[in-house]
């Protein structure tokens, strides 16, 4: 039984990795601009489509596939994210309350526009692409077969979680980012180029969303409505951790990934929706105990 629980924990960590890639950018962008970007999920969707198109253009090979999934597709999404940033900045005017309402409505509309653009370009077909050979097959853990793909996701969350933690909390750049997130006017008065910093963070968040979309599409489907489920999951993770908190996005992703994995294992007889039920139960419990989220603050 203990071995089975460990295996389920590993599956939960694999799911947490993809959730973290989306929720991290969403939460960091909220921390920088105080904007709840509902269009963020479309970056995940577009990454899968860009990967499909790039594979067709460059041809399928191991080198091309790795280059496309880990670099080219996320970079294409990053340029779309830059456009998002300038559009959102232009719309973020007025009092914080007005900005919050306007940005919510505006980004939902922006997501629908990009949804239709994806439909017009790539059509309503469902796409998929193969895994690199390294991610095919299984490794044995306690005599059980554990997919290489899920092991790769665990490596991703460990590496990126460590790198981003060091970046935000152990470097001068991280100090500047956190200072701006807490008080943009004071940071600007101290000589920090707040527009440049917010652009870099938006690019980082977009790249992470693109990376998540490219990796997730290796075992999932690529279609023009992919973003709807993803953005809801990402917001649940971000709210649980505390909107605007990088650490909250990491902890929230781990909580949701693990609880969902164990819920599916123990209560699969309740049907395929048990994972979603678990997410909303965790969300409700956290908000009842701590309405601002686990960390409840910027970074």
Q: Where are the domains of the chain?
A: 10-224
Question: Which residue, 268, 239, 264, is CA-closest to 253?
Answer: 239
pLDDT at 14: 92
252's tokens: 């929230």
Looking at residue 271, its pLDDT comes to: 75
The C-alpha atoms of residue 38 and residue 40 are separated, in whole angstroms, by 5
DSSP 129: -
Structure tokens at 41: 């999920």
Which residue from 249, 231, 222, 226 is spatially nearest to 20, judged by alpha carbons?
Answer: 249
CB 26 within 8 A of CB 249: yes
- 181 CB-near residues (< 8 Å, 6+ apart): 31, 32, 244, 298, 299
Burial 143-171 (b: 16+ CB within 10 A, else e): eeebbbbbbbbbebbeebbeebeeebeee
Pair of tokens at residue 210: 């693109």
Phi, psi of 141 (to 5 degrees): -130, 115
Q: Is the pTM of this model over 0.85?
A: yes
Which pair of structure tokens corresponds to residue 18? 């993809």
- Sign of the four-CA dihedral 299, 253, 132, 146: positive
Question: Which residues in the chain show pLDDT less than 70?
Answer: 90-97, 99-100, 297-299
138 φ/ψ sector (left φ>0, alpha ψ -120 to 50, else beta): beta
Q: Where are the beta strands (DSSP E) in the chain?
A: 138-141, 144-147
Cα distance between residue 22 and residue 207, in whole Å: 10
Closest CA to 73 of 186, 206, 236: 206
Q: Where are the alpha helices (DSSP H) in 92-131?
A: 96-122
Contact 253, 201 (CB under 8 A): no
Q: Distance (Å, rounded) from C-alpha 19 to C-alpha 31?
A: 18
């Amino acid at each position: 039984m203990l071995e089975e629980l460990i295996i389920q924990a590993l599956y939960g960590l694999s799911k947490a990795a993809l959730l973290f890639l989306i929720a991290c950018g969403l939460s960091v962008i909220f921390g920088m601009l105080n904007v709840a970007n509902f269009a963020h999920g479309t970056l995940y969707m577009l990454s899968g489509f860009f990967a499909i198109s790039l594979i067709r253009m460059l041809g399928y090979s191991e080198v091309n596939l790795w280059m496309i999934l880990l670099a080219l597709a996320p970079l294409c999404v990053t340029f779309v994210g830059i456009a998002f940033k300038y559009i959102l900045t232009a719309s973020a005017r007025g009092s914080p309350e007005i900005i919050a309402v306007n940005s919510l409505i505006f980004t939902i509309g922006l997501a629908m526009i990009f949804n239709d653009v994806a439909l017009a370009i790539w059509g309503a077909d469902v796409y998929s692409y193969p895994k690199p050979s390294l991610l095919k097959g299984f490794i044995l853990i306690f005599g059980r077969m554990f997919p290489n793909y899920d092991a790769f996701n665990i490596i991703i969350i460990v590496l990126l979680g460590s790198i981003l933690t060091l970046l935000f909390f152990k470097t001068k750049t991280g100090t500047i980012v956190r200072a701006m997130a807490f008080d943009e006017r004071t940071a600007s008065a101290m000589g920090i180029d707040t527009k440049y910093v917010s652009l870099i963070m938006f690019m980082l968040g977009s790249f992470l969303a693109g990376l998540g979309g490219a990796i997730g599409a290796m075992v999932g489907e690529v279609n023009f409505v992919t973003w709807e489920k993803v953005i809801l999951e990402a917001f649940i993770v971000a709210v649980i951790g505390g909107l605007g908190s990088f650490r909250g996005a990491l902890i929230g992703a781990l909580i949701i990934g693990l609880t969902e994995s164990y819920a599916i294992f123990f209560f699969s007889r309740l049907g395929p929706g048990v994972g979603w039920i678990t997410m909303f139960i965790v969300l409700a419990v956290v908000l009842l105990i701590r309405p601002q989220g686990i960390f409840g603050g910027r970074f």
